[in-house]
Amino acid sequence: MTVEISENSKSAFTALAPLEAVLFDVDGTLCDSDPIHHIAFRELLLEIGFNNGVPIDEDYFVQNIAGKHNDDIAAVLFPDDIPRGLKFCEDKEEYFRKLVKEKVEPIKGLYKLTKWVEDHGLKRAAVTNAPRPNAELMISTLGLTDFFHLVIIGGECEHPKPAPDPYLKALEVLNVSKEHAFICEDSVSGIKAGVAAGMPVVGLTTRNPESQLLTANPTLLIENYEDPKLWAVLDELDKMA
């Protein structure tokens, strides 16, 4: 089967040889957690009569909440009362953690890619805007606690995504160059962060539409980790090694 990949995408990945590290977002990139976030926001907002008691739909969730840091979400939901918004987001995260244990599923092909990364002896980090308890719970529920060498939290950096700071911090702690690492992401905010940090970004169309992700300039867009486009560029990288 012939896989169509642009020469620009192919050359961006082959230029990484020798590959040293792969950096992963968490929500929507390791697992399809956005629907769980949506449920948590929808139910708790309903409880307080937000939007005159009309439940938020998926469009509202994607436009205003998905991939964003809680500080920004609080400002969107409660522009006139930010402290209330921040407290609401804390309550929502607690509820989310209860739901995660029952509902979280890995993105298709995730363990095929993590095995490839391990087999190649690469360094790896999880880099996320999620609060640390959420990130560590999702990583542990997926059985990946020992896989990641570190977990970088956007809120613990000077600026969260879409700023490049969390990805640059991961490179610094792992002691690898941006010339030899790539990123897996699923949101506009995350892809922008990776692009700003100067690395090729593989964008996953887990929940966000392809047209929306393209506005952030990912190097490659894939459906999931079984996508032949991903394995075509990884095979090219192997040939360079």
Q: Catalytic site residues?
A: 25, 27
Whether the CB-CB separation of 189 and 162 falls below 8 Å is answered with yes
CA–CA gap between residue 130 and residue 157 (Å, rounded): 12
Tokens of 56: 């938020």
Question: In 3D, which of 168, 157, 215, 212 has the Cα closest to residue 194?
Answer: 168
Q: CA 107, CA 120: separation in Å to the nearest integer?
A: 21
16 burial via Cβ count (<10 Å: 0-12, 13-18, 19+): buried
Question: In which residue are the tokens 């995260």 written?
Answer: 93
- What contacts 16, CB < 8 A, 6 or more positions away? 179, 180, 181, 182, 200, 237
| CA–CA distance, 200 with 194 (Å, rounded to integer) | 7
Burial class of residue 180 in the structure, from the number of CB atoms within 10 Å of its CB (0-12 exposed, 13-18 middle, 19+ buried): middle
